[in-house]
Structure 1
Amino acid sequence: MNLKKYFTLAIIFTVSAFTVWAQNPVIRDQFSADPTARVFNGKVYVFPSHDIPAPPNKNLRENWFCMPDYHVFSSENLSDWTDHGVIVSQNKVPWVDSTSYSMWAPDCIERNGKYYFYFPANKNVAGPNGRKGFGIGVAIADKPEGPYVPQENAIDGIFGIDPNVLIDKDGQAYLYYSMGNIYVAKLKENMTELASKPVAIDNLPTKGMKEGPFVFERNGKYYLTFPHVENKTERLEYAMGDSPEGPFTMTGVIMDESETGCWTNHHSMIEYNNQWYLFYHHNDYSPHFDKNRSVCIDSLFFNADGTIQKVIPTKRGVGLTAANEKIQLDRYSDKSENVKIVFNDTTNTFAGWKTVLENKDAWISYNAVNFEKKNTAKVVVNARALNGGKVELRIDAADGPVLAEISVPEGSEMTVSKTKISKVKPGIHNLFVVAANNNPVEIDWISFE
């Protein structure tokens, strides 16, 4: 076990301005993908696409993406997210084929007090070449939450998906999108029409699918980031340049391809309260069907030369967790090999997961728990053990001081029990739960009071 890693993580969370808690995925009651995050009015807004299981009798492509509408979510602490409901639906956009379920990755940008929501979908009328294909439309609102009013027509001159908009420091707006290549075009002041013909961006990989561009500027450098299939599934890569239109130079990998088989990844980056974050998706709630995905967040860091440090996706996510909240150990920081994470209910994956400590000395850790209150006296555990079990609650290391020895009663149902703990010094601590005998123990959550 790498104790240095835990010390480093504790330092990161301690010096951060945040006193928040979170675990991945961050949207836990529906599927969500392709997250574009933006900071508006001191809040973080996420504009994802919306995966659903394919409705029956719709003549849809089997085992494919099915995406009917868009929600918008907001948060001030990156943990508690408010769903503001549907903002654009395939049934209410004049130019969209309302039977196509093809509302893929969107974006949203603010200009002069108006919010411009860009989204792709299949058209309901064929173009001059006889193809319907994908168009990109715009819906406009006075608030980031909406209501949004879709424009009558898609943007003229575009055949593509995955729109992304950058407003440069001189006020010029650029629209990026993908369709085989990644394209860039200038937008007019009205944000709904092109001011230049789209141009394919050079010097990007020519082999393997690339899509989902997200462009941002930092310290005078422009970052063109995008998913790319270098091997078998998408990984997140980036190129850097001195201009919004390039030229760009391929620079590195932001996140490796998934080890658990999610074919897509799609992302955005923001700086919020002096910390950068990577928003992305994975099929956590749908492990056997990777077209139903969920939004996740991890911290993002830059090297001194401006290059991006590779992000290792975590279950733990970002922020601090308050000790008096339900701590989901299954969203762990690290664990031993003899620990399993399984769904509470395989028929309803949104019910979340539980941790199974299989035998003696199995351990799981959860970092950056905020013990603000001086009088923390008990640990509350929701757990079960068919033959009865015991676990030790330790602090800051698997072999660290024992806060409590917890007896889990024999039985087949999850049972909430309370145990007195040793005094905890107020501050930020990493928790370790260690099996004290060979009887398997299943833990849903723990908390402190």
Structure 2
Amino acid sequence: MPQFPLSSLPKLALLAPFALLGACQSNSTTTETATTTSAAADSSAAAATAPPDSAGKKKYLAAPLVKDIYTADPSAHVFNGRIYIYPSHDIDTGMPENDNGDHFAMRDYHILSMDSVGGKVTDHGVALDIKDIPWAGRQLWAPDAAFKDGTYYLYFPVKDKQDIFRIGVATSKSPTGPFKAEPKPMEGSLSIDPAVFTDTDGKTYMYMGGIWGGQLQRWRTGKYDASKPKEQEPAATEPSVGPRVARLGADMKQFAEPVREVKIVDKDGKVLLSGDNNRRFFEGAWMHKFNGKYYLTYSTGDTHFLAYATSTSPYGPFTYQGNFMNPVQGWTTHHSIIEFKGKWYIFYHDTELSNKTWLRNVKVTELKRGADGSIATINP
């Protein structure tokens, strides 16, 4: 987090170069890394600072899962009793930082897996490279995955040849790939951060979207508007831009219905306003279900919280319940939540290894709840 109170700045002053989530890239070997702790150096000016311990070193709640590559935006799933993590793969491109996030120029995905939380983590190497996506232009960002009828599906956002973010899908018979991409993006897809959720009735939904560099605000009319390259959120007193959702078809490669906007409302049923930066949606949506209730969790972006809202329907509207993770070290925050062996876990990232907001590392910690289903606050 910046070393000044973001809430005191005008909104336009917040259009920092770090306004984005990233994704992927790297080598092709399979390695195993034990989840041991590592020392952290000073954070950059744009990074949130972990509290120091008695020796003056920064303390972190959890350790990076892997240390030989930079990983971010972890989408975790349990397949065949094993945890598989589908993260972005950060690289240092040497590109100057800008408001569009061009320096987040990831080019491939590595898939991680482990038998137990706290155990060895296996890096299965490159599962998909941008050069093997026929329609892709640049910037392979935060992915997600699903399984159905013997096939694994990898969903990914990448800019097309016209520099517009779309969602693509690739398939494999193995949860670790390699994955083969479809020749075209999903019809009707847009923006970034696909999150795929299969309900208890077998229906599968995709949530997607991110404002600012994720371009979601450019779709407010239902069509992409490239006429105002610096356009950001609606006015502070206007309704905020919500993520999008659509149910997937039987083949898991296309939508079975039109994409619709998800409304996030307050306790009075009023849509959160664009200027409500501590609560409104920014990017990185995730969906899970607990005790029959749908939990939409997401990043507030420029205020660096993870928030949650609940509903009785996967389409919403979702009622804001609170922020459950305080800011991590680094500008971006992106997560996933799974149940494994009777406990719930949250996978997230920070910048402990690099102290650079575009070179992140994935972590995991237990997610705890109150008796009423509320999510306990996490201090990362």
1:115 alignment partner, one of 152, 163, 172: 152
Which residue in the other structure is 1:277 paired with? 345
The one of the two structures with greater contact order (alpha-carbon pairs below 8 A, sep at least 6) is 2
Residues of 2 paired with 1:160 and 1:29: CA distance? 30
State the one-letter code of the partner of 2:323. V
TM-score (norm: length of structure 1)? 0.59
Structure 1: runs of 5+ lacking an equivalent: 1-19, 127-131, 314-449
Q: CA deviation at 1:196?
A: 1.1
1:152 alignment partner, one of 172, 183, 207: 183
Q: CA deviation at 1:34?
A: 0.2
Residues of 1 paired with 2:264 and 2:86: CA distance? 29
Residues of 1 paired with 2:95 and 2:348: CA distance? 29
Which residue in the other structure is 1:39 paired with? 78
Residues of 1 paired with 2:108 and 2:370: CA distance? 38
Percent identical residues = 38
State the one-letter code of the partner of 2:256. A
Which residue in the other structure is 1:96 paired with? 136
State whether residues 309 and 318 of structure 2, in contact with CA within 8 Å, keep that contact through their aligned partners in structure 1.
yes
State whether residues 247 and 257 of structure 2, in contact with CA within 8 Å, keep that contact through their aligned partners in structure 1.
yes
Residues of 1 paired with 2:256 and 2:69: CA distance? 38
Q: Cα gap change, 1:310/1:294 in structure 2, threshold over 3 Å: closer, same or farther?
A: same
State whether residues 345 and 364 of structure 2, in contact with CA within 8 Å, keep that contact through their aligned partners in structure 1.
yes
Which residue in the other structure is 2:377 paired with? 310
Which residue in the other structure is 1:385 paired with? none
3-state DSSP of counterpart to 1:32: strand
Confirm or deny that 1:162 pairs with 2:193. yes
Q: Work out which of the two has the higher radius of gyration on C-alpha atoms and give 1 or 2.
A: 1
2:244 alignment partner, one of 161, 164, 183: 183
Structure 2: runs of 5+ lacking an equivalent: 1-33, 38-62, 210-215, 218-241, 266-271
State the one-letter code of the partner of 1:140. T
State whether residues 171 and 181 of structure 2, in contact with CA within 8 Å, keep that contact through their aligned partners in structure 1.
yes
State the one-letter code of the partner of 1:183. R
Residues of 2 paired with 1:84 and 1:62: CA distance? 27
Which residue in the other structure is 2:48 paired with? none
State whether residues 33 and 51 of structure 1, in contact with CA within 8 Å, keep that contact through their aligned partners in structure 2.
yes
Which residue in the other structure is 1:197 paired with? 258
Residues of 1 paired with 2:311 and 2:100: CA distance? 39
Which residue in the other structure is 2:288 paired with? 216
TM-score (norm: length of structure 2)? 0.70
Residues of 2 paired with 1:233 and 1:291: CA distance? 17
Q: CA deviation at 1:66?
A: 2.4
Q: CA deviation at 1:46?
A: 0.5
Q: Cα gap change, 1:56/1:250 in structure 2, threshold over 3 Å: closer, same or farther?
A: closer
1:139 alignment partner, one of 144, 167, 170: 170
State the one-letter code of the partner of 1:292. L
Residues of 1 paired with 2:99 and 2:244: CA distance? 29
Q: CA deviation at 1:158?
A: 1.5
* Structure with a larger share of its residues in strand: 1
After the TM superposition, which residues 9-408 of structure 1 pair with which residues of structure 2 at under 5 Å, given as runs? 22-23=36-37, 24-54=63-93, 64-78=103-117, 79-97=119-137, 100=138, 102-124=139-161, 126=162, 132-178=163-209, 179-180=216-217, 181-204=242-265, 205=272, 206-207=274-275, 208=277, 210-229=282-301, 232-258=302-328, 260=329, 262-287=330-355, 289-313=356-380
3-state DSSP of counterpart to 2:284: coil
Give the number of aligned pairs. Answer: 279
User: What are the Cα deviations for residues 181-212 of structure 1, in whole angstroms up to 9, with x where unaligned?
Assistant: 30111111111111111111112543346111
